[in-house]
Structure 1
Amino acid sequence: MAKFLGNTLIRVGKKVVAIGKNYEAHAREMGALSAPKEPVIFLKPTTSYAREGESILLPAHIGSVHHEVELGVVIGKGGKDIDEDDWTKHVAGYVLAIDMTARDLQSKAKKEGLPWTPAKCYDTFLPISDFIPTTKIPSPHDVEIWLNVDGVERQRVNTGEMVHKIPFLVSHISRIMTLEEGDVIITGTPEGVGPVEPGNIVTAGIEGILEMTFPVATREYKRGSENSSFSNFLEHELMITMAVPIEFDTSRVLSRSYCPNCACTYMSFDPRRNTYCTSDCEATAKILRLEQINDESDSDDDQDGDVYLICVPKFDMNAINRQKRKQQSHRLSSPRDIPKRTMFYSGDAISY
């Protein structure tokens, strides 16, 4: 039996186990011929939870974000190698969940054969309802879940259409990883997934049981006070800090930063006041602001050069200007050549 009850039980959970393409129509919607024979399993952190009264926050730089309404199963008694026939002994109740997905990031990662964890794991990317005890849902494969955006219905399904049923999912997952008290399994979304934008109101429900509402807003990244010069750049500009070691040609120096188009780790800085990526995408953007941010008062012995704050426009990922540049670039000779400072990619603080 669970030591905790209701919403407290959810708060003590350590992970969210998510199931992909668990409805035939959604699998086809996503380009598959049919639902997979084995469950598609991925994880979301519990830090992605959003509760009613909070907003779904969309970072400005990640492109299209889609809603995916799902029935969630809350684990009461933990265990591993659970038999299908014993699944009810381990389930304390249910939640309604919305698996928010940064679709552009996910599609790009899939195309490149990379994990798509970032597309699923931003804060507030898993809005969930209050805990629903099993007494209110005696048959989890016979409830209707739905989702509206601004009052227009986008998704609706009876959970009986799940390909992989809950008893099998509990057993199957427990043979891969131990299920612990408070963990949540989200069981897949039906067809009708689609984008949301700041200003939308997302409403989802389980017919006859509950309804929940979440406004959608832009996530604001801030560093320091409201009046900080860093904060003023975040809405429209990408900020990069880079070291320019004095012993190197400053016309072509690689920085430890992130290309907003392809997310590679090298951006090049040249005296014509352009910032361009040195990987295959070779995106280019005009620098809006160039500011030296270290001075003679800096006494860090590891710092062997000037440090600049470079501000360029945020890239429009759907209409990016790609210009092919074939120029030789010099790599920094060692990590000592770059001071230990914080960099910003569209407002995200990235320390190294």
Structure 2
Amino acid sequence: MKRRTLLAASVAALGLASAGAAFAADKTKVGFVFVGPIGDGGWTYEHNEGRLAVEEHFGDAVETIYQESVPEGADAERVLTQMALSGADLIFTTSFGYMDPTLNVAAKFPDVKFEHATGYKRADNVSTYSARFYEGRAVQGTIAGHMTKSNVVGYIASFPIPEVIRGINSAYIHAKKVNPDVEFKVIWAYTWFDPAKEADAANALIEQGADVILQHTDSTAPQAAAEKAGNVITFGQASDMGEYAPMPRVSSIIDNWAPYYIARTQAVIDGSWTSVDTWDGIGAGMVGIGEISSAVPEDVKAEALALKDAIANGSYHPFTGPLKKQDGSDWLAEGETADDGTLAGMNFYVEGITGDIPQ
């Protein structure tokens, strides 16, 4: 009798173990590859917030894994291969330079779904997604144009890709609308995240007379440099960077990836995932405008928020003519708006910006 009881217990235990293994196998595994550290305070921080939101939303039904500070290139391909081999069902690659590595690895793992941020190459198992950051730049440009006293706005640019060029153009157009005397000075840092380089760029722009600093890099080093200089305003990039409010950080662009990550994970779980291209902005909630601080006059704040609302409801497009290219050639006629194809491949400055785009 005792022996039969032990045997039954052993069988039951085996059954529970098998059930546990089956449950583990049924978990959806979602990987994230980050270009910077999750504590960068900007781009990667917000992508990791999206990852954490996936964990919170799905609980035990989903397991997430991630690798931070992965260089764009061969290292990315190695990391992606390891993630796929580890059983990942869905992998998000969160930087432009991961585009070709993502396509290369996806071809080897056709049953794994891949999502590439800010790129333009797709495959049956590769989707692309990005946010219309240029919409937020329009709001920032409006504030910058009003608040500069030197009429010099500095811009720390990362890499000369369309995403960054769009942002520079949008900020300049809207700064110029409210301040015809404004001038932009652009420094190309050739990095997404390097606090030392970003601080050097900010200091160089301040030495050139800039009292407003915009950035398309990920750390808070420009905020710290502006704070040290005094009387220089900045804007949070990708994340709120609210620890520097109300000065020098007077507002921010906040990337909200969580709803997208949750929706795409759900699509893998329920089998409805297909390769798509997503490009959302303020209206869809993928681009947020951080609180405009008390350092900004109320009338300027009201104007910036009105612009935000107009972009969100579709009554205004940040690239609306008349606009010319830097060389003086016509681009958009009165009332004409830029099409997404031109914006996606933008490789020119608008009229009024000095300097060349690196090739």
User: When the two structures are superposed, what TM-score results if normalisation uses the length of structure 2?
Assistant: 0.27
- Write 1 or 2 for the structure with the bigger share of strand: 1
- Write 1 or 2 for the structure with the bigger share of helix: 2
User: When the two structures are superposed, what TM-score results if normalisation uses the length of structure 1?
Assistant: 0.27
